[in-house]
Structure 1
Amino acid sequence: MSNYTSAAVPESSRVVIDPVTRIEGHLRVEMEAGDGVIKNAWTSTTQYRGIEVIACKRDPRDVWAFVERICGVCTGTHAIAALAAVEDALQYPVPIQAKLMRDLVSGALGIQDHVIHFYQLQAMDWVDVVSALKADPNETAAIAKSLSDWPLSSATYFAGVQKKLKDSIAHGQYSIFTNGYWGHPAYKLPPAVNLLGVAHYLQALVWQRDMIKIHTILGGKNPHPNFLVGGMACAINMNNDQAINQFSLSYLKQLVDTCHDFIHKVYYPDIVAIAGFYKDYAHIGASNPNLFCTGDPSEINTGAPAGKGMIKPGVLLNGDYKNVLPFDQDKIKEFVTSAWYKYTEGRDAGLAPYDGQTDADYNGPRPPYKWLSDRPQYTWVKAPRYDGHAMAVGPNARMMIGYAQGVPAIVERVDAACDKLGLPRDNAFMNSTLGRVYGRALDAMINVDMMVDQLQEMTNRIKNGETATFNPEKWEPETWPSSCKGVGWVEAPRGSLSHWVRIENGQTVNYQAVVPSTWNSSGRDAEGQMGPYEYSLAHTGTHPLVDPSRPVEPLRTIHSYDPCQSCAVHLFDEEGEAIMTRQDP
């Protein structure tokens, strides 16, 4: 019997954000608020999508190209998870050079995603653009130079940025900065730091254009690079200008080095500097005290040891952030108690992803609607649970687990950040709104350092004659078992991503994607447990919301997860048939 009850909330205390902007997909947040705080919250993914149905009854070697289109933001990530799932099912080994190429594509995506998330999608929650007009460019330059030796840090440069901003606003053209809550009392940065934030926002736009070239070199294009079951679709040949050659390697090194400098000299220092003005958010917005990551997915799928400096798969439960428990994928089940789907076993049942059913059963009101959560079902997102626990995933989960595992590069930087923020030296603060923002920047630091090593290893192996990027051993279906299943794990920018596949007689017969934003944006389960978004806003009853008409505080918390609701929802059933019903109120 379900312990979930729907929300009977007086209209006078209802606050709705719909849509939450500066995210991928459609997310609605309903809150009960009063006295300057949030008392309860429900998050609803209101978009309905069905791309995974295309995977069923299809050749498993083609599936990656279709499910890669689940999202255009985390482009490539779903493809790599799909490849790993099929290769796991077929026990299909991949050449080391292909794995290094995939790692470089994933690293480039993750770093680009983190930078775009902060500057283009979340910085305006913390940076008051209009306040930057009052800044002294000389003061901004002094602050910038105290953080790093990044070249674009002169007073002249910042004065130029400020003039462009003034000229635009003077003509009533806020352009990309339209509809901000400028002047809100929750903004705490001084004008000089706000100007620094605006300038680096604009620099990040230019920087990310170059970053995606790594995808075009190794994957042929961006978005949606090309891949291949059993390896990569690009060849290595020093004497062929259509393959990876010396010019390609030199250009890759230039791009990786430029990326390294931007992360180390702009992004990470900005986060640490801005965090110093928002220390209270280290105690606001904690998710459920349960987190996991899969680290290097090779350890899950093959038992291979984690790579150099890599985080190993692990679980943190019940607020014990020091002791990492083993990760067991067989403990994952998905529930539909609060979702617009039905299970043959009933809404309160939990199904393992291999046995997943995703049959739509919409019973909500006809849009437009004023309130969704007064009904038991209020979202298109399932509720994944690990051994019955609501879990949070993401860069902060990776960094918290890496810290508990004693990964030196993580421990040293987290301890330094804690010292600067006046916090105890441990990983607990990263389970917070501020911690998620910081964890993403630290994740980018770890990733870009690894990319430098991965590219060097790839180059060294080429010098030693290792040029294979494809293994033909199990390409032909005649070599496959008649029935098999597999799962592919990837630590995506937003957290642990898994694709689950069943293959019979050479065809895909069932396919499930359990993605980071499904874990984080899930609604209540049969036990009434909130998902991480909801928990972060409502579990203490003290999350600030000073002005319901300008809800910058809850947006800071929701944006800190970097929601991707296009990834979070899916639709198909075991036979690959779409089903949808509607019951009007």
Structure 2
Amino acid sequence: MGKRVVVDPITRLEGHLRIEVEIAGGKVVNAWSSGQMFRGIELILKGRDPRDAHHFVQRSCGVCTYVHAVSSVRAVDNAVGLTIPKNARIIRNLLHGAQYQHDHLVHFYHLHALDWVDILSALKADPKQTAALADNVSNAKAGGAAYYRQVQQRIQTFVDSGQLGPFSNAYWGHPAYKLPPEANLMACAHYIEALRLQARTARMHAIFGGKNPHPQSLVVGGVTCVADLTADRIAEFLYIHKETQDFIKNVYIPDILAVASYYKDWGGIGGTTNFLAYGDFPGGDAEPDSLYLPRGIIKKRDLTKIDMAHQEKVTEEVTRAWYLDGPARHPYEGETKPVEEDPQYKPDNGKYSWIKAPRYEGLPCEVGPLARVLIAYGKGHGDIKPLVDSTLQKLGVPATALFSTLGRTAARGLETVAVGDAMEGWIMELVENIKGGDKKTYEPYEMPDSAMGVGLNDVPRGALGHWIKIEGGKIGNYQYVVPSTWNFGPRDQKGQLGPVEEALIGTPVADPKQPLEVLRTVHSFDPCIACAVHVIDPDANAVYRFKVL
């Protein structure tokens, strides 16, 4: 029997997550993913006006607010048989694209980079050599020896005060860190620059959405921001978009390449088998054909055979989740009935999570940036395939390296470039529509007495679906399957592991008391549930607890 250690809490996540792993021979040999919080928003929605659903579901999270709202209004759009106006489609796409730019930047620099970057090592760096490295690998606006010396002094001030602030709990000096001091100092500087930028990027949601988080301009039938479609508003959105895209291309992507060059072995660690994407960013009335990011399903890593994904083939089961037992159900027929007794954590032979187990044709599937990029790559996407090929060439790694923790991290950055470039075209399309006199952003409708609808989106963290049943003009049933349900769901009745459970198997762990490598794979999925990884040591009959960054 292997070692198990408790790490609690893992920060840099949203929500409440427990990951338990068993380590033997220096590697993870078993894993269990457990969601530790029950929300029950589906129950709150029952009996309410369908037009109000998006205001509730976007409160599921403080990060993924817009994405739940747009998926919800699309579900009701679908139920009432609406085709929204062109301008509404474009504005929804622009708000969604802004979410990609903001979310992926924040994830890489503030939620994931510190799994690869040793902050304290940056204190040993030579600022002149750091400046030379930065000039060689990126086109960041800030730079020079004096700049990096100032950043280094700021870090030293934290250390000397004994208060590292957000960097206080981590595994600094861990042998799994490979970046030289100069690369660590460069990354620390860009961490700070990204902090400044993310506040600017979030403003794009306020321009057409009223505010961030929880934008208010979405409605069934379109959007409500007709008065905001002025030259000044559009110019402000475009300016911030270009500022963000400049950082993405000149800092974010070079940083990914620089970090990845020292961690190529992670191109063979943390992979899964099946991948699902609903696709997103509709370009016209015909979906899924018009989607900028394509829809599809990959089975057994076969990029030569990518089938169309159909929502009718999605089910959720609760064999190992804290809900009353029942058959696997499609979301239209889904039930959210928590167990009546106190939940007991029984990972070996019982229930152990509040997360259900979604399956596509009975298969667990990874969703998210890697799934989207793999499907686009396999389909020969005109924008994404060249980006992937160029990155593989620069790193000198084969396409098989995509199926990994490293591939997942790189895919997130590459799709940010592609979506950001596409956004400029959508902005110009909006401008031309307005110049031509088209300012329509809303399509009237009547709420039916009974109907069913589905809203499929692919949001920064992965495939998101909302399903609604309208009965008597009210919500009769509402279910949504979110990306982290797909990725962090538990085992199913057949014993098939959830994607994160599968990805953790084989992960090397140099020190069970400091499982930094486990954090790398968990964080690479950008989980939106958070807060603990638990590993227990049965050999010593002891439980170790560590606070980590």
CA change 1:499–1:214 in 2 (3 A) is: same
Q: Residue 27 of structure 1 aligns to which amino acid in structure 2?
A: L
Q: What is the 5 A alignment of 1:368-379? A: 372-379=346-353
The partner residue of 1:393 within 341, 348, 367 is 367
Match of 1:407 in 2: 381
Give the gaps of 5 or more residues in structure 1: 1-9, 237-242, 568-585
Work out whether residues 40 and 336 of structure 2, in 8 Å CA contact, stay in contact via their aligned partners in 1.
Answer: no
Deviation of 1:415 after TM superposition, in Å, equals: 1.2
2:336 match = 358
Q: Structure 2 residue aligned with 1:464, among 432, 436, 440?
A: 436
| Separation (CA, whole Å) in 2 of partners of 1:515 and 1:21 | 20
> Counterpart of 2:222?
231
Could you tell me how far apart the structure 1 residues matched to 2:372 and 2:241 are?
22
Offset, 1:304: 5.7
Q: 2:198 matched to which residue of 1?
A: 208
After superposition, the C-alpha distances for 1:187-226 in whole angstroms (9 at most, x for unaligned) are 0000000001100111111000001111111010111001
RMSD: 1.8
Tell me the alpha carbon deviations over residues 154-188 of structure 1, each in whole angstroms, 9 at most, x when there is no partner. 22111110111112211112111111100000000
Which residue pairs with 1:537 in the alignment?
504
Displacement over 4 Å in runs of 4+: 297-302, 362-366
Which of 291, 294, 309 is 1:327 aligned to? 309
The answer (yes or no) to whether the contact 2:138–2:255 under 8 Å persists in 1 is no
Question: 1:531-566 CA deviation, whole Å, 9 max, x = no partner?
Answer: 01100112xxx3211111111001100000000128
The answer for the alignment partner of 2:354 in structure 1 is: 380
Q: Residues 482-524 of structure 1, C-alpha deviation per residue, up to 9 Å, x if partnerless?
A: 3210100111110010000001221111000101000000111
Matched-pair contact (CA < 8 Å) for 2:22–2:29:
yes
CA deviation after TM superposition for structure 1 residue 319, in Å: 2.1
Question: Contact 2:357–2:485 at 8 Å: present in 1 too?
Answer: yes
- Within a 5 Å distance, the mapping from 1:113-128 to structure 2 comes to 113-128=103-118
Compared with structure 1, are the counterparts of its residues 358 and 299 closer, same or farther at alpha carbon in structure 2 (3 Å cutoff)?
farther
CA distance in 2, matches of 1:303, 1:533: 30
**Counterpart for residue 296 of structure 1:** 280
Match of residue 550 from structure 1: 514
How many residue pairs get matched? Answer: 530
The equivalent of 1:312 in structure 2 is 294
| C-alpha contact (below 8 Å) 1:231/1:470 kept by paired residues | yes
- Contact 1:94–1:471, Cα closer than 8 Å, also in 2: yes
Are the counterparts in 1 of residues 127 and 146 from structure 2 also a CA contact under 8 Å? yes
1:273 equivalent among 258, 275, 300: 258
Q: 1:304 to 1:319 in 2, by over 3 A?
A: closer
Q: What does residue 495 of structure 2 align with?
A: 528
1:444 corresponds to 2:416: yes
TM-score (norm 1): 0.88
* Residue-by-residue CA offset, 1:271-314 (whole Å, 9 max, x unaligned): 11100000010000112x1101111375999546325xx23211
3-state SS of paired residue (2:79): helix
CA distance in 1, matches of 2:341, 2:397: 47
TM-score scaled by structure 2?
0.93
Deviation of 1:364 (Å): 6.0
Per the alignment, residue 513 of structure 1 pairs with 480
Distance 1:305 1:403 in 2: 16
2:205–2:212: 8 Å Cα contact kept in structure 1? yes
1:61 alignment partner, one of 38, 51, 75: 51
Deviation at 1:54, TM superposition (A): 2.2
- What's the CA shift for 1:153? 1.9
Q: Which amino acid aligns with 2:276?
A: F
Q: How far apart are the structure 1 equivalents of 2:343 and 2:209?
A: 44
The change in CA–CA distance for 1:363 and 1:422 in structure 2 (over 3 A counts) is farther
2:25 matches 1:47: no
1:421–1:468: structure 2 CA closer, same or farther, 3 Å change rule?
same
- Name the aligned partner's letter for residue 332 of structure 2: Y
User: Any idea what SS the aligned residue of 1:360 has?
Assistant: coil
Alpha-carbon distance in structure 1 between the residues aligned to 2:279 and 2:343: 41
Provide closer, same or farther for how the CA distance between residues 160 and 522 of structure 1 changes in structure 2, counting only shifts above 3 A.
Answer: same
CA contact (8 A) 1:364 1:377 kept: no
- Residues 488/302 of structure 1: CA separation in 2 closer, same or farther (3 Å cut): farther
Q: Which residue of 1 aligns with 2:268?
A: 283
* Greater mean alpha carbon deviation, residues 147-156 or residues 329-338: 147-156
Cα displacement (A) at 1:264: 0.5
Corresponding residue for residue 3 of structure 2: 13
Gaps of 5+ in 2: 532-549
Indicate how the Cα distance of structure 1 residues 297 and 114 shifts in structure 2: closer, same or farther if over 3 A, else same.
closer
Instruction: Please tell me the residue identity of whatever aligns with 2:173.
Output: G
What code does the residue aligned with 1:342 have? Answer: L
Q: Distance in 1 between matches of 2:41 and 2:186?
A: 41
Alpha-carbon distance, 1:140 to partner = 1.4
The answer on whether the counterparts of 1:16 and 1:31 sit within 8 Å (CA) in structure 2 is: no
Structure-2 separation of matches of 1:265 and 1:34 = 42
Change (3 A) 1:178 1:39: same
- Of 395, 407, 428 in structure 2, the residue corresponding to residue 421 of structure 1 is 395
Change (3 A) 1:280 1:548: same
- The question of whether the paired residues in 1 share the 8 Å contact of 2:131 and 2:148 is answered with yes
Q: Distance in 1 between matches of 2:165 and 2:295?
A: 43
Could you tell me how far 1:60 is from its partner in structure 2? 0.9
Aligned to 1:562: 526
Structure 1 counterpart SS, 2:383 = helix
- For residue 452 of structure 2, what is the aligned residue in structure 1? 485
Residue 452 (structure 1) shift: 1.2
> Following the alignment from structure 2 to structure 1, what is the Cα–Cα distance between the partners of residues 26 and 372?
33
Match of 2:67 in 1: 77
Residue aligning to 1:146:
136
C-alpha spacing 1:445/1:494, structure 2 compared with 1 (3 Å): same
Q: Secondary structure at the match of 1:97?
A: helix
Q: 1:133·1:166 contact (CA, 8 Å) conserved in 2?
A: yes
Taking a change above 3 Å as real, the CA distance of residues 418 and 262 of structure 1, as seen in their structure-2 partners, is same
Aligned residue for 1:575? Answer: none
Percent identity over paired residues: 43
Displacement of 1:147 after TM fit?
Answer: 2.3
Question: Which residue in 2 is equivalent to 1:570?
Answer: none
Aligned-residue offset at 1:101? 0.8
**Mean alpha-carbon deviation: is it higher for 170-179 or for 357-366?**
357-366
- Match of 1:579? none
Structure with larger RCO (C-alpha < 8 A, sep 6+): 2
Q: Which moved more, 1:144-153 or 1:352-361?
A: 144-153
Counterpart for residue 80 of structure 2: 90
3-state secondary structure, aligned to 1:334:
strand
Deviates more, 1:170-179 or 1:14-23: 14-23
In 1, distance between residues paired with 2:130 and 2:387?
25
